[in-house]
Chain A
Amino acid sequence: MDSHYEVEFTVRGDDFLAAGEASNQIKETLIMLGVPSAISRRASVITYEAEMNLVIHSGGGTLRAVITPEKLTIQATDRGPGIPDLHLAMREGFSTAPDRVREMGFGAGMGLPNIKRNSDNLEIESEVGKGTTLTATILFHEGPGDRR
């Protein structure tokens, strides 16, 4: 069956007050759908970190969650500066966040590693000067639909 559910949010750059709202709503959606809490917990981490990356680095973009009976896909798209060295960006503690962001307690260089740790598959397409698209997937191994 090709049934799916999709939510999309626009995330504004540098809006630290609203940061976390999109991930919160995605979590609420997963709870309503009866997705097991272990999966929604991983999804929360991914969406939150992806949302923070949009806020800190990209000047804004969109966050999308697509749910099908097999998997959950979280996609963050922006037209920001792009990531010059992906290998370096994936390293724990590596950060290009400006000092003013670090002073707020963000930008510790754990975002991408955290996303990687919590997803079953992670793809990042990035071009310097053009933007970045991050696609993280969580598979519903047992299928949440069969839960009860």
Chain B
Amino acid sequence: METGIKIIEGSCKGCVNCIKSCPTEALRVVDGKVRILSDLCIDCGECLRSCREKALALDEDDWDLIRSHGPATLMADPTFCAQFSHYWTPGLVRKALASLGIKDLFDETARAFDLAAFATARQIEEASKESLPLISIYCPAVVRLIQVRFPELLHRLVETETPLETGTLLWRKETGSDEGVILVTPCSAKVMLVRGPVGREKSTMGHVVSVKRLARDLLAAGPKVDGAALDPVGSRWLAWALRGGESRHIKAFSKKNITTMAVSGLRNTIDLLQDLELGRLKGVDFVECRVCDLGCIGGIGNAESRFLSELRLSRQPIEWVATEREKADLADLYETGIWKLEQPIQPRPRPSLADTLDEAMKKLKTMQAVYAELPHIDCGACGRPSCRALAEDVVRGEGEITDCVFKLRERISVLGEEITALSGKLPHAFHERKHAK
């Protein structure tokens, strides 16, 4: 399985900073280089933040290479419009991009986000009381986290496709174009929308480039853009870059008064999902989780400080009430089902220790025995994030107990004592010869 993260082997020093940061314990250091266990990886990007050597990066495509092939069409994440102090509305960003010969899909994007909010509002209204709250699918890392660690919550995920994909589909439907579209991503999780989407066979977007990479080009060129005669571009979609924006959008399109909850940050997300799993969120209709601080603007692939992005977004004039024309358009699009996920989202449980319960119980007992012998200080020197993880790797046949430096030292010390004892046992004949001299 693929991940949204690339390892730059030459830069990896084999330190163990990253393995500790991983919320699903998906990293190991083997032979002095970091490895990702892709079964467990949720693409959250925490390891990128913890790496001082820049040995981990977004697995993005080469923007210069894409540019050299001619004109480019972008499906930009909402965070892209919060990166620049000069181009602070989608209309201004559009003009700046156009001056570099780059085409945006802002209008389709705005419609697709409206449609996603509209469709999700309908799902909440139609859901039975027991199946609430529903959970947002917008953050792909949250979807993967649920697949890996909270499979019991999968049935609560909304059936709405990410509007970044739907926007591209809308554009293709209207123009009939099969030109390549490049997703501009703020994080490693959204890289996977193109590389290995969940809930559909294949993405209709061909490439993926980080917000940071594109913003750098735009800032370097620094095109002068005047604010006159701007296209009116909808702005509700921009709110999704911040925690709570999706919920606000859904509320605006909901016929009923609904209760939503929005959290950001990995720890908060895990805590909230745990509460949800234990049935403690009664009375909540919709849950929006983002693994990055403050929401998508906190993604590792952005150029701008998340705090400045937040400030800029808070100053965006957003008209939450849709016009009659927009409403009619949405109702029509809703009927087409273009907003729907193609496939149900499947669990991705961590493989059990063995194929049969009997065998697994034996291995688990061995694992506990191995664990009991380890020092329990989770130093990471064995290349695993914790002593528990080493014990598990040992019973899975993916490591040795002597990978632990403390166990190794113990064995060497035992061996040393044996050598000393042995060296004292000189052959009798040798003693005699010594005396003779």
A interface residue numbers (CB < 8 A to B): 1, 3-5, 20, 24, 29, 31-35, 37-38, 40-41, 44-45, 48, 67, 69, 105, 114, 140, 143-146, 148
Contacts and interface: CB of A to CB of B under 8 A. Distances in A.
A145 B358 contact: yes
Interface residues of B, number: 24
Nearest to B362: A3
Given A5-B364, A5-B365, A44-B277, A144 B357 contact: yes
Contacts of A44: 152, 277-278
A69 B278 contact: no
A5 B349 contact: no
Contacts of A24: 274
Given A4-B361, A5-B361, A45-B278, A31 B152 contact: no
Given A34-B353, A37-B347, A29 B364 contact: yes
B361 A67 contact: yes
Contact of B358 (A1, A29, A41, A114): A1
B280 interface: yes
B352 interface: yes
Interface in B327-351: 347, 349-350
Contacts of B392: 32
A101 to B, nearest CB: 14
Given A37-B347, A45-B279, A105-B280, A32 B360 contact: yes
A45 B350 CA distance: 21
B23 interface: no
Contacts of B347: 37
B49 to A, nearest CB: 26
A24 B319 CA distance: 44
A32 B349 CA distance: 10
DSSP majority for the B interface? Answer: helix
9 contacts: A5-B364, A29-B364, A31-B349, A41-B152, A44-B277, A48-B278, A69-B358, A145-B357, A148-B355
Nearest to B152: A41
A148 B356 CA distance: 8
Contacts of A41: 152, 277
Contacts of B277: 41, 44
B152 A37 contact: yes
A38 B151 CA distance: 9
Contacts of B225: none
A127 to B, nearest CB: 30
Contact of A34 (B280, B360, B365, B367): B360
A4 B362 CA distance: 9
Contact of B151 (A3, A29, A37, A67): A37
A24 B278 CA distance: 11
A34 B358 contact: no
A146 B354 CA distance: 12
A32 B364 contact: yes
B152 A34 contact: no
